[in-house]
Each structure stands twice: as structure tokens, then as C-alpha cells.
Structure 1
Amino acid sequence: MFKPNALIPELSVSDINTSLDFYLNILFFKLEYQRKTDKFALISLNGSQIMIEEINGFWETGILENPFGRGVNFQIAVENIDKLYENIKKQNYKIKVEIKENWYKANNILIGQKEFLIMDPDGYLLRFAQNLGERECETDLIS
């Protein structure tokens, strides 16, 4: 049974069908449910959930122009980042930041991620990340 997360971002999109095609067929999201008359869908991937709704004049707090979502990126945890990355490349979809390993300091440890970034059809920045584990932090080398 579907259980909604405590926090689910809802993205205003310019065309629900274009967004559904992108999220479901290129990124392998699952359609949890949709309300076709409202042009709304709730989608999920590995526990991450996003609501998408075609622009309707109700949720806007200002003028929407592409790219939407300036100033935010959504990190989405995945289990097989290479498979997802290869499918995106196969679809000739533009990669914003190529796949690479990054290690981020968190207190006295480093947390590793293999990650890449793309923008969805409306310009929302999506960062896909696969956990690489943790390692000790050499405090002299990392700030």
C-alpha cells in the first residue's frame, strides 16, 4: 500500500504529459496515482516522492519562466546510478553535470556519493546520487 512521505515537493510543470513521459520513461519513476482532470500525478523512485501538476494559476507565487525552481536542487537517492545514467545518455537527454564521485564532510567523517545532475523539461535541477559509504576524515585536508 502506498504511504506518502512527510514532505513531498510539488512541482508546477508546463505540460503534464511531457513531464510524465520524462519521469516515468527516462528516469524510471513509478506512477503512484494521478488525477487526469486536475493534470496532477504523484510519482516515486526508491522512496523519493514528487507531485507534479500542470500550471493552473493556483499555486504560483510569482511569474513562472523557464528554468523553474531556481535556487533549489532535488537530491534523489538511487540504487543503480550507472543504469539510470546510461538510460539518460541513450535517450540523448542533456546531462548538466557528468557522473562523478564526491565526498562531503559531515562532522568528523566523509560521506561518499556517486552523482550526476540533469534538468527536467521545465528546468528543475535533479541530482541523482548513489551512496558510497563513509570514511574517516583527515581534518588537515578537508574543510
Structure 2
Amino acid sequence: MKQSISILILCFLTFFDAMGQEKSVCCDAPAPVASGMIPQLTVKNLAQTVDFYSRVLGFEVLQSVRQSDELSYVLLKSGSVLLAFQLESYLKDKYPQLKAWKAGKGSALIIETSAINRFYERIKGRAEVISNLTVTFFGAQEFVITDPEGYVLIFRSAENPAGDK
């Protein structure tokens, strides 16, 4: 079984030849092209996470799944940003090899937002601010908070920093 999985994975690996042409490692099939990404973050307290992201950050719940009468998965949306959250205990039960894995540490999400000054003023007393609103070396405004599970959220201006006064 492990051997067949390795072969399947290799078929999706690509490289570029000397002429800059994309090549597949083991087959002639074209490499898959990503069409989007939805980060799925694992959390210990899903209800608290949904409350924080909806009440404090303004996300809306698009989908939720209950298993054994417990909320186990939620998909949230704000503008064009989608975030999924899965209950850690469910994931570890489903994949026993993840039992020792620690969620929430070493991860940061950058979320572009408009009207960053107003957004910062709205949430600065409602979330743990790690870095106040500043202008980065490349000219964007940003601030950094953590969510209740310890994930680092970097909110960055989506427009010219001078245009949001």
C-alpha cells in the first residue's frame, strides 16, 4: 500500500527542464493547477473559535458539521476569505498518527482587508494584539493578533496604505 501511495504522489511532482518547460516526474499527464486554497485549522474549542471569528472579526458561518451531537467542523467566510476549522479531537481520532501533533503553533495567516484603520480600532480591545498597526517596509499597513487557539493572524491593508484614512 505504501509503495502505491508513493508512486501516486510522484506523478504529481513536477520540475522545470533547462528550457524552462514544466515536466512531470513520472508521467505525461499535465501537472495539476491550484484553483484556490482554504486553510483548515485544527482547534480544541470550536465553539469559542467560531464565536471569536464571527463576533470579533466579522466572519459568517457558511457550513457547520456535527458528529455525535458535537460541532466538529465549520467553514467561515469574510469577503473572499474562507477559513475552515476542525475539532482537534475528531482529527486525532480519525488519523491516529497525529495523536502527538500540536495544533496552532508555528502558523500564521495573512488576511488582506480594506479599511484597516477602522478594522484595527474595532478589534484592538477585543483580541490579543501582538503588534499594533504599523507600516511595513514595503508600504502596507498591518497589525498582528492571536486567536483564542494561538494562531497568529496578520491583517494587512489590501489597498494603498495612504488611501485608508
| Unmatched segments (≥5 aa) in structure 1 | 105-111, 135-143
Match of 2:132 among 98, 117, 125: 98
1:66-105 mapped onto 2 (5 Å cutoff): 68-70=104-106, 72-91=107-126, 93-104=127-138
Match of 1:25 among 51, 55, 63: 55
Deviations 1:16-36 (A, max 9, x none): 100000000001112111113
1:7 maps to what in 2?
Answer: 37
Deviations 1:36-93 (A, max 9, x none): 3352110112211110011121357363447x131x31100111212221222232x2
The one-letter code of the counterpart of 1:14 is K
Deviation beyond 4 Å, 4+ runs, structure 1: none
Number of aligned residue pairs: give it: 120
Alignment partners' CA distance in 2, 1:25 and 1:64: 29
Against the structure 1 CA distance between its residues 86 and 133, is the aligned structure 2 distance closer, same or farther, given a 3 Å change threshold? closer
- Asked if structure 1 preserves the Cα contact closer than 8 Å seen for 2:61 and 2:75, the reply is yes
Alignment partners' CA distance in 2, 1:88 and 1:133: 21
- Asked if structure 1 preserves the Cα contact closer than 8 Å seen for 2:116 and 2:141, the reply is yes
Q: Does 1:116 align with 2:143?
A: yes
Alignment partners' CA distance in 2, 1:133 and 1:87: 20
- Asked if structure 2 preserves the Cα contact closer than 8 Å seen for 1:46 and 1:77, the reply is no
Structure with the greater alpha carbon radius of gyration: 2
TM-score, length-normalised on structure 2?
A: 0.64
Q: Alpha carbon RMSD of aligned pairs, Å? A: 2.2
- Asked if structure 2 preserves the Cα contact closer than 8 Å seen for 1:94 and 1:118, the reply is yes
Aligned-residue offset at 1:113: 1.4
Which one has a larger percent helix, Structure 1 or Structure 2? 2
